[in-house]
Amino acid sequence: MNLSVDLNDIKEAQKVLKDVIRKTPLSFAQSEALRQKKIYLKQENFQLTGSFKIRGALNRLSRLSESEKRKGVVAASAGNHAQGVAYSAKKYGISSHIVMPVSAPLIKVERTKSMGAKVTLAGAYFDQAYQRATEIGKEEGRVFIHPYQDPLVIAGQGTIGLEILADLPDVQNVIVPIGGGGLIGGIASALKLSAPHIKIYGVVTEQTPGMMELKKGLELSQRSAISTIADGIAVKNPSKEMFKNFIDPFVDDIVTVSEEDIAQAIVHLLEYEKSVVEGSGAAGLAAILNGKLSDKIDGQGSTCVLLCGGNIDLNTVSSVIDTGLRKQGRLTRISTIVDDLPGLLADVTSVFAKSRANILDVHHDRVSSELKVRETRIDFLLETVNSEHVKALQEELEQKGVRVLREDEK
Ligand SMILES: Cc1ncc(COP(=O)(O)O)c(C=O)c1O
């Protein structure tokens, strides 16, 4: 299949989408740290269906022939393409069958069903769901709607590039998370074909680094199990076709982020932008907050970071917030060993009180085998200001003769 996409394809897609999708905001970031770096956010988390995926899906389904429409469609998706396809199929009166991995967030499964699609859960990861969807396509005679390796899907995602350019004409850098590569492929095509000086940077997770490895000419790492909050970009096997057509020619560099980096970005977006963004959607900002692109973008003009989706289960948000706060040094566990003498606990807590660290939880242990006679282990869960605050607390405790356990001793 010829995958290449030109500007005209993307402009045609724009006409198809115009009266259906939302025009999402592109705004200057709120936090001072990001403002100094001239960071702008393109908020596709506010898009219809909760992510950009409707753009590619609607464009693809709009071009089905009448006989293809009667056959119906099948798709494999971690959850956002599912909703894009289900929404578009409903709009055009087409039957849809979607296969999602069993690990897909509940919110994505439920929303897809509520848009009238039949949902089958199969396989632990996207790659296995994909396999099952191609089988269903053959069994049921449905048209397979690829989530990224399809020029009409890529052209649909590319419309984001045109919007970025229209809203921020002097943009110098654009940062886009990569799963299969359709999103960055479309955006990079739109931008490099209109304004080749714009730099495009991709972001993958440490657990699914395939495209980064291809880009840097490294051997592809083999991973059996993945557990990530960025389910939308958790594609284990990068497509060589997508690499050859888009990533290699158009993407300037690719960096990786950790789960903690992503959690921190989600917390940042909740706190400063008042925005709910899912793990994959926050990966671009995670790279910025952790300095992964500083050498490329600092002092190099305006940078647009794509927030590509907002479909996160609310019941996972609280644990993500805890991880994000821990990463920022705002939720801290300090474990101490003290002599079991009257007044010592008060001494320790007075250190916390004096510097306004709020104690959320305390746990005493007098019986562990690691303890000597008359020693007590006390674990504190604290609300703190940042990592410097935590360090200062630990030093003050040590000055008072309290043994503070290191991370690896906890
Ligand atoms: C929120 C979100 N961001 C990014 C991506 C990556 O898109 P692509 O697979 O086209 O690279 C996805 C894919 O599902 C997604 O859902």
Which pLDDT tens digit goes with each residue over 230-259? 988 988 889 999 999 999 999 999 999 999
Pairing relationship of beta strands 375-383 and 358-365 according to DSSP bridges: antiparallel
| CA pseudo-torsion sign 106, 107, 111, 112 | negative
Residue 65 pLDDT: 97
338: phi then psi, degrees, rounded to nearest 5: -130, 160
225 pLDDT tier (thresholds 50, 70, 90): confident
Residue 4 pLDDT: 86
Our CA angle for 276, 181, 171, nearest 5°, is 65
Task: For residues 355 and 196, give the distance between their C-alpha atoms in angstroms, rounded to a whole number.
Answer: 52
CA distances from 273 to 6, 26, 269 (A): 34, 12, 5
What would the DSSP string read from start to end of 356-384?
TPEEEEEEEES--TTSPTTEEEEEEEEE-
Beta-carbon neighbour count of residue 35 at 10 Å?
12
Question: Per-residue pLDDT for 21 more than 90?
Answer: yes
**Furthest-apart CA atoms within the chain: distance in Å:** 83
Task: Tell me the CA–centroid distance for residue 78 and ligand 1, in Å.
Answer: 9
300 pLDDT tier (thresholds 50, 70, 90): very high
pTM for the model stands at 0.90
Q: What is the mean pLDDT of residues 168-190?
A: 98
Of the given ranges (44-48, 251-255, 334-338), which has the lowest mean pLDDT? 334-338
Question: Per-residue pLDDT for 63 more than 80?
Answer: yes
Task: Tell me the CA–centroid distance for residue 141 and ligand 1, in Å.
Answer: 27
**DSSP H helical segments within 75-194, as ranges?**
80-92, 106-114, 126-140, 151-167, 182-194
Task: Tell me the CA–centroid distance for residue 234 and ligand 1, in Å.
Answer: 9
363 Cα distance to chain centroid: 35
Tokens of 167: 């809203």
User: 306: which strand partners?
Assistant: 42
Residue 367 pLDDT: 81
DSSP annotation of 219: P
In the chain, pLDDT over 70 holds for what percent of residues?
A: 100
408 pLDDT tier (thresholds 50, 70, 90): low
111-122, pLDDT tens digit by residue? 999 999 999 999
Task: Tell me the CA–centroid distance for residue 311 and ligand 1, in Å.
Answer: 12
Which amino acid residue places its CA nearest to atom 10 of ligand 1? Answer: 182
110: phi then psi, degrees, rounded to nearest 5: -65, -45
Which protein residues are within 6 Å of ligand 1, measured from CB? 51, 53, 78, 80-81, 147-148, 177-184, 232-233, 278, 280-281, 308-309
The ligand 1 atom at the shortest distance from the C-alpha of residue 44 is 1
- 347 or 389: which carries more pLDDT confidence? 389
Of the given ranges (101-115, 139-153, 334-348), which has the lowest mean pLDDT? 334-348
Test site for ligand 1: of 153, 280, 305, most ligand atoms within 8 A of the Cβ: 280
Q: From edge to edge, which strands make up the β-sheet containing 143-144?
A: 118-121, 96-100, 73-76, 143-144
71-90, pLDDT tens digit by residue? 999 999 988 999 999 999 99
399 pLDDT tier (thresholds 50, 70, 90): very high
Residue 9 pLDDT: 98
Question: Per-residue pLDDT for 1 more than 80?
Answer: no
Question: Per-residue pLDDT for 301 more than 90?
Answer: yes
Residue 369 pLDDT: 77
